[in-house]
Amino acid sequence: MDGIIPLYKEKGMTSFACVSQLRGILKMKRIGHSGTLDPNVEGVLPICLGKATKLVDYLMNSGKIYQGSITLGFDTTTEDLDGEVVSTKDVEKPLSDDEINELLENFVSEDLIQIPPMYSAVKVNGKRLYEYARNGETVERPKRHVQIHYFKQTKESVYDEDKKQQTIFFEVGCGKGTYVRTLAVDFGKKINMPAVMSSLTRIKSGGFNIDETFKLDDIRAAVENNKIDEIVKSIDSVLVDFKHLELNDAQWATVKNGGFLSSDVIDTKDDKCVLTYKHAVKAIYYYDENKQVYKPEKMFSNQ
């Protein structure tokens, strides 16, 4: 089976656990996901099956959209509600909508620098940061360059008079590698206030919206009722934004052996092109400017 399942990862599960369960449900080993979601985060997790595992990089590069909340007034070791409270500070005067909007807008950038949280899977000297954190060790964390396409409020914030905390509700469109937890913490730092990401849902990833997703129980039922084909999306469904070329017999004879194609054959200015033969996706080719030819980047089938 080759294709993509837009999975709804439920809260409390790891992304690895989702893949593990799907291997059992679908009775296949070649399964991968495109972009880890923390256990306390729910939402869209595209799952690649069979030859579609070659699409993971493309799905991760397609951008993501999240909705969630930032709570001002305390921070934690993990930058979300899973960690231990590090410090607290009363929000004596809640931020106005205008103040919130201005602060959010300051994060919009094609090159925002982030320092990943200690409780993250980023590797430093061969060890993941969360391993250092669990051992009580500190280590210099590498800076990451991320893209924030937009960052906006989704509804009016809530001020808790008793706890002296304010919760802000947001939506953010971002590129790969963005830590939304860190956006929440850095938001607080701009006003000298401890902050955490208090909830998060990924509503779009790999081109799939949350209303297109299926839960593990849905997939299990589809297998039992022989309707899994209604859930698995084709490889081409995530390549619709690329230029496509239907190969003739002679061109396919070249491509199936990994041969190059001249720019005269692929008459496009695009960097990449999806090649199909008999209307089935066979490969993705990229343009080599130096040699002015198209070369294979991903081969899905040579048959």
Residues 111-163 pLDDT 10s: 999 887 777 777 877 778 778 778 877 787 788 899 999 999 999 999 999 99
96: buried, middle or exposed (CB in 10 Å: 19+, 13-18, 0-12)? exposed
Residue identified by tokens 């929000």 is 91
Q: What is the biggest distance separating any 2 CA atoms in the chain, rounded to whole angstroms? A: 75
**What CA–CA distance (Å, rounded) separates 173 from 64?**
6
pLDDT at residue number 287: 86
Mean pLDDT, rounded, for 16-43: 90
3-state secondary structure of 33: strand
Q: What is the pLDDT of residues 71-127, one digit of tens each?
A: 999 999 889 998 889 999 999 999 999 999 999 999 999 999 988 777 777 787 777
Residues annotated as part of the active site: 38
Whether the Cβ atoms of residue 180 and residue 197 lie closer than 8 Å to each other: yes
Q: What is the pLDDT of residue 269?
A: 65
Contact 199/125 with Cβ under 8 angstroms?
A: no
**Structure letter (DSSP) for residue 271:** S
Phi and psi dihedrals of 253, rounded to 5? Answer: -60, -35
**Residue 268: predicted pLDDT:** 66
Q: CA–CA distance from 72 to each of 52, 148, 152, 164, 303 (Å)?
A: 42, 21, 16, 9, 57
Distance CA 119, CA 130 (A): 4
| Helix (H) or strand (E) run with residue 284 in it | strand 280-288
H helices, E strands: number in the chain: 7, 18
Nearest partner of 69 among 162, 196, 188, judged by Cα: 196
According to the model, what pLDDT value does residue 17 have?
Answer: 92
Tokens for 114?
Answer: 């982030």
Which tokens go with 140? 């210099």
- Nearest 5°: the CA angle 257, 258, 262 is 115
Structural domains present in the chain: 3-62+207-236 (3.30.2350.10), 64-202 (3.30.2350.10), 242-299 (2.30.130)
**pLDDT, tens only, 32-52:** 888 788 888 999 999 999 999
Q: How do strand 243-246 and strand 272-277 relate by DSSP bridges?
A: parallel
**Dist CA 66 CA 45 (whole Å):** 12
Query: What is the rounded average pLDDT of the residues 225-251?
Result: 90
pTM of the model: 0.88
User: How many CB atoms neighbour CB 199 within 10 A?
Assistant: 18
d(CA 53, CA 50): 6
CA distance 283 to 98: 49
Q: Is the pLDDT of residue 303 over 80?
A: no
Reported as a single tens digit per residue, the pLDDT across 260-301 is: 988 777 776 678 889 999 988 999 998 888 888 888 998 988
The identity of residue 126, as a single letter, is: G
Q: Which of 262, 234, 259 is nearest to 6 (CA)?
A: 234
Residue bearing tokens 């080993």:
29
